[in-house]
Amino acid sequence: MPALVAAALSLALYAVTLGGTFIYDDLYIARDDPRLASPDRWRYFWTDQYFPEGADKLFRPLTSMTYALQAYTTGDRAWPFHLVNWLLAAACAAAVTEFSRRLAGWWPGLIAGLLFAAHPIHVEAVAGIVGRAELMCALATIGGLTLYVGKRLTARRVAAIVACCIAALLSKEQGIFFPLLLAMLAGLQWLGRRRNPAPAAMIATPDLSQRRLGVILAMCLVYVIAGYFFYREAILPLAWDRALIEWGLNPMVASTGADRWLMPLVILGRYAALLLWPRTLSVDYGAEVIGSSVRWSEPWFYVGVMVVIGSVVLLVRSLRRRDVPVAFCTLAAGQLYGVVSNLPSIIGTILAERLMFLPSAFLAVLAGIGITRFAAGSMARRRTAVIAVLSLLLLGSLRTYTYALRWNDPLALYAVALQEHPKSVQLHRGVFAQYASQGRWTEARQIGESCVAAAPNYWRSYVLVASADIELGHIQRARELLQYAKDHHYNNELIGAWMQLEGRIEELNGGPATRPTE
């Protein structure tokens, strides 16, 4: 019953996304990828990277296959793609609820599921079609953990858990941590049984058959992970050149010295703020929105430090008390966040709300446990807890609905976010592209000039202005801008953009629309 309630809330909040379109990365991955065009090309999803133009060599063949099947059966209409995301989001909310219920009890499960369903930070993962990778990985991961916790192992259950692991691995890179999460859960349950064998929080003491099935499960997961890494390394090596990351997407490529290791605390502080008070949400936080060095006058670094200290205190306290649910969820959230934190290695983006979809599931469980335990003290505490939960759900639902609705209008989405984050290059590009698609080149040029002012040392800023100048007939001015960008910010991508624009000039002049050679 609690799982159905959480799923229903998710369905109600995100029904508005069914009227959405292809937006941002959806265009390149779920609509225009040439591999989607024919079943003969689908095999390349299993031998090449997720985004052909990406620098980070992502491998998500299962997610890509869902796009391919939909493109083949329903064409390039957006609503069927959003329909699948809509249903997956509801399934994720139900899975979080059921996992929390089995781990900690009925009330923690209900509260966790509702908070998870209503949190605005999840909008990007649901309203953006490419957020399906987050949804599928989260559903497989939490589903597999739910199958394990609170139930006796059977051969079918072992097979289902292994299948969840495979699905998570092939949906998104965070799936790599599924076996580790399961191992942590099993280890903490063993630790908890030594003190308090409460059935609501852990499985019964395993007999011989259970131990055998546990060994089989562990061996299967080891083979799956080993096979994944072996195959992945053979077709798409895990190592890749971080220098290929664009500064506009992740300015940490320019971080040096102490900033390289302190900036992840700044990012953590930003994520914490988005989780606690998601007032300003955006599809991009790159360029100078966060920057490449610690800004000591801003609060984010200090917030990040406090989050780390608080997490360590909570973990130590829960381990000392052998509090399995709290210890596991703290470790799980930290582990899953760590891979997207830019701490161990720099990833393709400095911060993205969708990346918190899976880690926040365990934070929601922690919130459910904390609120339930607080309410157990007295009637006054129960009233306070009820008011707090209802208030959070009301505010979260309102913000989620209004932000999800904005995703149906790309220009409004980019323009509002740009007002809140005027130093983002990607948001400038988004607004520019919308104006360009409508033939509003004068306004597009103004956006390009704004981008130059926000990021004068970034070559894409000049390409935007030059593109508008070409369409407005100011060919010489466009070439002067491109020459300036070439003289000061030379790189292969700039030369490619220049060649494309020269081809556009020839096309407008009635000549052959071909790219000139250098």
Q: How far apart are CA 257 and CA 456, in angstroms?
A: 24
Look at residue 514 in the predicted model and tell me its pLDDT: 44
Q: How far apart are CA 56 and CA 244, in angstroms?
A: 8
Look at residue 337 in the predicted model and tell me its pLDDT: 95
Cα distances from 358 to residues 11, 132, 364, in angstroms, run 18, 12, 10
Decide: 6 and 114 in contact? Cβ < 8 Å: yes
Look at residue 323 in the predicted model and tell me its pLDDT: 94
Q: Which of 79, 64, 72, 73 is nearest to 30 (CA)?
A: 64
* 199 has pLDDT over 80: no
Look at residue 150 in the predicted model and tell me its pLDDT: 78
* 306 has pLDDT over 80: yes
SS (H, E, C) 388-410: HHHHHHHHHHHHHHHHHHHCCCH
Look at residue 513 in the predicted model and tell me its pLDDT: 43
Look at residue 511 in the predicted model and tell me its pLDDT: 57
Decide: 149 and 159 in contact? Cβ < 8 Å: no
* 202 has pLDDT over 60: no
Longest pairwise C-alpha distance within the chain: 82
Residues 6+ apart with CB under 8 A from 490: none
Q: Which of 160-169, 207-216, 259-268, 338-347 has the lowest mean pLDDT?
A: 207-216
Alpha-helical regions (H) of 376-458: 379-406, 410-420, 425-437, 441-454
Look at residue 516 in the predicted model and tell me its pLDDT: 40
Percent of the chain with pLDDT over 90: 78
Decide: 454 and 470 in contact? Cβ < 8 Å: no
Tens-digit pLDDT profile for residues 417-447 = 999 999 999 999 999 999 999 999 999 999 9
Look at residue 117 in the predicted model and tell me its pLDDT: 98
* 201 has pLDDT over 50: no
Residues 6+ apart with CB under 8 A from 98: 2, 3, 109, 113, 146
Percent of the chain with pLDDT over 70: 95
Look at residue 517 in the predicted model and tell me its pLDDT: 39
Residue entry with tokens 């609509």 = 31
Taking all residues of the chain, what is their mean pLDDT, rounded to a whole number?
92
What average pLDDT does this structure show over 332-358? Answer: 95
Look at residue 206 in the predicted model and tell me its pLDDT: 63
Cα distances from 111 to residues 108, 162, 231, 324, 380, in angstroms, run 5, 29, 41, 18, 18
Look at residue 54 in the predicted model and tell me its pLDDT: 79
Look at residue 515 in the predicted model and tell me its pLDDT: 43
Look at residue 41 in the predicted model and tell me its pLDDT: 95
What average pLDDT does this structure show over 463-490? Answer: 84
What average pLDDT does this structure show over 268-292? Answer: 96
Query: What is the C-alpha radius of gyration for the chain, rounded to an integer number of angstroms?
Result: 24
* 518 has pLDDT over 50: no
The tokens for 35 are 């591999």
pLDDT band at 192 (very low <50, low <70, confident <90, very high): confident
Q: How far apart are CA 414 and CA 430, in angstroms?
A: 6
* 318 has pLDDT over 90: yes
Cα distances from 206 to residues 221, 222, 373, in angstroms, run 19, 21, 28
Q: Which of 18-32, 53-67, 404-418, 473-487 has the lowest mean pLDDT?
A: 473-487
What average pLDDT does this structure show over 211-224? Answer: 95
Residues 6+ apart with CB under 8 A from 329: 103, 362, 363, 365, 366, 369
Which one has a higher pLDDT value, 462 or 272?
272
Q: How far apart are CA 428 and CA 58, in angstroms?
A: 26
What average pLDDT does this structure show over 464-486? Answer: 86
Look at residue 205 in the predicted model and tell me its pLDDT: 54
Q: How far apart are CA 301 and CA 335, in angstroms?
A: 20
Q: How far apart are CA 46 and CA 452, in angstroms?
A: 40
Residue extents of the structural domains in the chain: 2-406, 421-508
Look at residue 475 in the predicted model and tell me its pLDDT: 84
Look at residue 93 in the predicted model and tell me its pLDDT: 98
Tens-digit pLDDT profile for residues 119-142 = 999 999 999 999 999 999 999 999
Residues 301, 304, 306, 308, Cα dihedral to 10°:
-140
Architecture field, domain 421-508: Alpha Horseshoe (1.25)
What average pLDDT does this structure show over 183-208? Answer: 70
For residue 13, the tally of other CB atoms under 10 A from its CB is: 26
